[in-house]
């Protein structure tokens, strides 16, 4: 039988400062991610993003969201016996983490939707008949037959980079789907016991630890890609300029919060520092681009059109 808590077991206090802070954080999250979303949409390209960065970010945020779903499941059950307002307030932490997952996942979706055509397709040219003859010693009769067939046509195929992006997107989808189904199934089956089944604690710990590890590693591939490309690409300086100071404030709020230690804020400090390093690299490349007279994608600023090789190959004859 499903366990229904009594009202006395549910949070009854109305903490106005915490409520206001949570609402401000949710608003700040939306404001900080909007510049990145709009930049990809307005430039119509996601060039410059590392697919591994998006994979790590999407899976880490999903793990954090599912971790909080398990940890705060008793609060979800309390919504049966408390008012809608108290229910909403008690679950604001979960809403905040879910919002962060959603906003980052939108970047992944936009990355695939606006993947640059010149990086998505490539020309493949079959060998000429005379080259094949030289390699394999074809006879005169076979050479004449090959000439009748005419010159081989150029084929257009997808690039390894695009196939990697699609593969990693599938991994993100499977990661979320499988862990979500596992979490919900176990919560519905096991959470009626008091105290909750130990396996739920193990799963929550696994999600929390794996999410932290993935978050710490998240910015490494993006820093590597941006540093070696020497271009800002579709990365939004506005988003990073908002999120880096926000990370500092968030870490400080954890440092001075009672009952926390270095394990509570270390992961956020590391990710904030790595995002700050990425912002500094982008600012340096922005200055370099200005000196060279090129835009964020390496195109001359005085050129009205992109190079021919950057046009969609799929439209070529």
pLDDT of 124: 75
For residues 41-47, average pLDDT: 95
Does some domain include residue 307?
no
pTM of the model: 0.82
Looking at every residue in the chain, the average pLDDT score rounds to 83
Does some domain include residue 308?
no
Does some domain include residue 150?
no
Q: Where are the alpha helices (DSSP H) in 191-298?
A: 198-217, 219-229, 237-255, 262-292
Q: Point out which residues pair with 300 in neighbouring strands.
A: 294
pLDDT of 304 higher than 50: no
Measured CA to CA, the distance from residue 64 to residue 59 in angstroms comes to: 9
pLDDT of 25: 85
pLDDT of 199: 87
Per-residue pLDDT reduced to its tens digit, 166-196: 999 999 999 999 999 999 999 888 866 556 6
Does some domain include residue 123?
no
pLDDT of 162: 95
Beta pairing class for 121-124 and 155-158: antiparallel
pLDDT of 195: 63
Does some domain include residue 185?
yes
Q: Are 305 and 297 in contact (CB under 8 A)?
A: no
Per-residue pLDDT reduced to its tens digit, 66-111: 998 988 888 888 888 878 888 888 888 888 889 999 999 999 999 9
In this prediction, what percent of the chain has a pLDDT beyond 70?
Answer: 78
| Contacts with 30 (C-beta within 8 Å, 6 or more apart), sequence order | 99, 103
Q: How is 128-185 classified by DSSP, letter by letter?
A: PHHHHHHHHT--HHHHHHHHHH-SPPPEEEE-HHHHHHHHHHHHHHHHHHHHHHHHHH
pLDDT of 317: 44
Domain extent at residue 48: 13-113+160-295
- Rounded alpha-carbon distances, angstroms, from residue 20 to 15, 16, 96, 136, 266: 9, 6, 13, 76, 25
For residues 140-155, average pLDDT: 58
Burial class (CB in 10 A: 0-12, 13-18, 19+), 180: middle
Does some domain include residue 168?
yes
Does some domain include residue 1?
no
Per-residue pLDDT reduced to its tens digit, 229-256: 999 999 999 999 999 998 888 888 777 7
| Structural domain total, the chain | 1
């Amino acid at each position: 039988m499903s366990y229904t808590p009594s009202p006395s077991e549910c949070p009854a206090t109305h903490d106005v400062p915490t409520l206001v802070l949570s609402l401000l954080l949710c608003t700040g999250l939306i404001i900080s991610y909007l510049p990145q979303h709009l930049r990809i949409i307005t430039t119509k390209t996601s060039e410059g993003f590392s697919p591994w960065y998006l994979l790590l970010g999407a899976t880490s945020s999903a793990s954090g969201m599912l971790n909080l779903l398990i940890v705060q499941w008793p609060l979800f059950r309390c919504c049966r016996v408390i008012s809608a307002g108290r229910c909403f307030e008690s679950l604001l932490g979960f809403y905040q983490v879910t919002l962060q997952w959603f906003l980052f996942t939108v970047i992944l979706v936009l990355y695939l939707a606006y993947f640059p055509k010149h990086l998505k397709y490539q020309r493949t040219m079959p060998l000429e008949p005379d080259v094949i003859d030289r390699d394999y010693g074809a006879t005169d009769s076979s050479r004449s037959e090959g000439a009748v067939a005419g010159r081989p046509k150029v084929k257009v195929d997808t690039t390894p980079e695009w196939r990697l992006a699609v593969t990693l997107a599938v991994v993100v989808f499977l990661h979320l789907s499988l862990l979500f189904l596992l979490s919900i199934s176990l919560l519905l089956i096991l959470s009626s016991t008091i105290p909750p089944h130990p396996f739920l604690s193990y799963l929550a710990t696994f999600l929390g630890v794996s999410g932290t590890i993935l978050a710490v590693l998240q910015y490494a591939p993006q820093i590597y890609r941006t540093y070696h490309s020497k271009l800002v690409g579709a990365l939004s300086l506005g988003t990073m300029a908002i999120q880096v100071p926000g990370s500092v404030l968030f870490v400080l709020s954890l440092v001075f919060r009672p009952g926390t230690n270095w394990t509570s804020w270390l992961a956020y400090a590391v990710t904030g520092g790595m995002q700050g390093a990425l912002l500094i690299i982008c600012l340096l490349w922005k200055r370099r681009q200005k000196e060279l007279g090129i835009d964020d994608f390496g195109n001359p600023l005085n050129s009205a059109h992109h190079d021919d090789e950057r046009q969609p190959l799929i439209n070529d004859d």
